[in-house]
Amino acid sequence: MAQERILIIGACGQIGVELTLALRNLYGNDNVIATDIRGEHELLKGSGPYEVLNAMDEPSILDLVRKEKITQIYLLAAMLSATGEKDPKRAWITNMQSVRQVLDIGVQEKLHKIYWPSSIAVFGQSTPRENTPQQTIIEPLTVYGISKYAGELWCQYYRQRWNLDVRSLRYPGLISWKSEPGGGTTDYAVEIYYDALRKGRYTSFLDKGTYLPMMYMDDAIRATIELMEAPSEQIKTNMAYNVSAMSFAPEEVAASIQKIIPDFQISYAPDFRQNIANGWPKSIDDSNARNDWGWQPDFDLDKMTKTMLKNLKTKL
Ligand code: SER
């Protein structure tokens, strides 16, 4: 089979940086073209081709796909839940237009595969919140969640109507030390580690007892690559797969940090993001991903805390 040529749109975001590096390891540096609306992220510099590209600019995406003989697109650019609530119209246009364009390009240019991330934000208050199943009531309450669910439906449409191989995961909150998150409701679980090292204390914008599904970035990257590498007959849903690793509340991250930094203090000042979190699942049933393509997380809370604190210490 011919060499895969991969285009990443949104390569400088929280997922993009690490996914780009992982895909370059797998497919060769020159076969993974990283793009973002921003300038190149420090960690990407020197690792392979980079171009500034706006995810909304269809003609430029199409040009690049043809010029670079692209066979797969990973579309990661999006406005997340908290930022989206501040500017719902812009979030809707950004998140929807970008995915529709990439799906069209996928059909037109006969791309082998497309990856587009969904999120636990598709679920709403009417969804069972413990062990949320793959198929359930889905009534998202944020513009981000609406755009992700609508995007999943469009992906399903293109799979069925045009036989386009588009794959997707409903990521939980993602925790990473290499690249910074941007505008999510689960970002407290990243900030807390930075503040633990810098200040020895953290004020959480989500209240005590707010359980959310979470995942360490290494697991998220591996889940993405395993999903994309799985033989197509193993992909048994046309929607995005639930994936899960752990579930915790802010006080539990604090307790995990206190095992390493005993003086660490947490306090709570919930803001508008609490409302968003209140509508999301506490934990996720990902048995479809486990059964269909063998998903298995590696990091639990304490293992993640150790890894985060060790690496951030060096970084800071
Ligand atoms: N981490 C995301 C957010 O908080 C969820 O997909 O918006």
Atom 2, ligand 1: which residue's CA is nearest? 184
> Which residue is catalytic, options 74, 115, 144, 202?
144
Q: Is 35 helix (H, G, I), strand (E, B) or coil?
A: strand
Cα 153 versus chain centre, distance: 18
Both 199 and 152 in one domain: the answer is no
pLDDT for 1 beyond 70: no
**CA 127 / ligand 1 centre spacing (Å):** 17
Whole-number pLDDT of residue 292: 98
Q: Which of 93, 150, 155, 119 is nearest to 279 (CA)?
A: 119
16, 163: one domain: yes
Same domain? For 129 and 265 the reply is no
52 within domain boundaries: yes
**Mind listing the pLDDT tens digit for each residue in 234-271?**
999 999 999 999 999 999 999 999 999 999 999 999 99
Q: How far apart are CA 246 and CA 244, in angstroms?
A: 6
Domain presence at residue 35: yes
Cα diameter, the chain: 58
Please tell me whether residues 11 and 159 are part of one structural domain: yes
Clarify whether 144 is annotated catalytic.
Answer: yes
Amino acid at 312: L
At 90, is the secondary structure helix, strand, or coil? helix
* 17 and 154 both lie in a single domain: yes
Contacts of 85 (CB under 8 A, 6+ apart): 91, 142, 143, 144, 272, 276
> Domain check: are 119 and 184 in the same one?
no
Give 176 Cα–ligand 1 centroid separation in angstroms.
13
d(CA 34, CA 7): 6
Please give the distance, rounded to the nearest whole angstrom, from the Cα atom of residue 181 to the centre of ligand 1: 9
For ligand 1, is residue 276 a contact (CB within 6 Å)?
Answer: no
Q: Is 184 in the pocket of ligand 1 (CB under 6 A)?
A: yes
Domain that holds residue 138: 6-172+217-223
Do 89 and 198 fall into the same domain?
A: no
Whole-number Å distance between alpha carbons of 191 and 250: 11
Which ligand 1 atom lies nearest to the CA of residue 148? 6
pLDDT tens per residue, range 56-115: 999 999 999 999 999 999 999 999 999 999 999 999 999 999 999 999 999 999 999 999
- Which pLDDT value is given to residue 180? 87
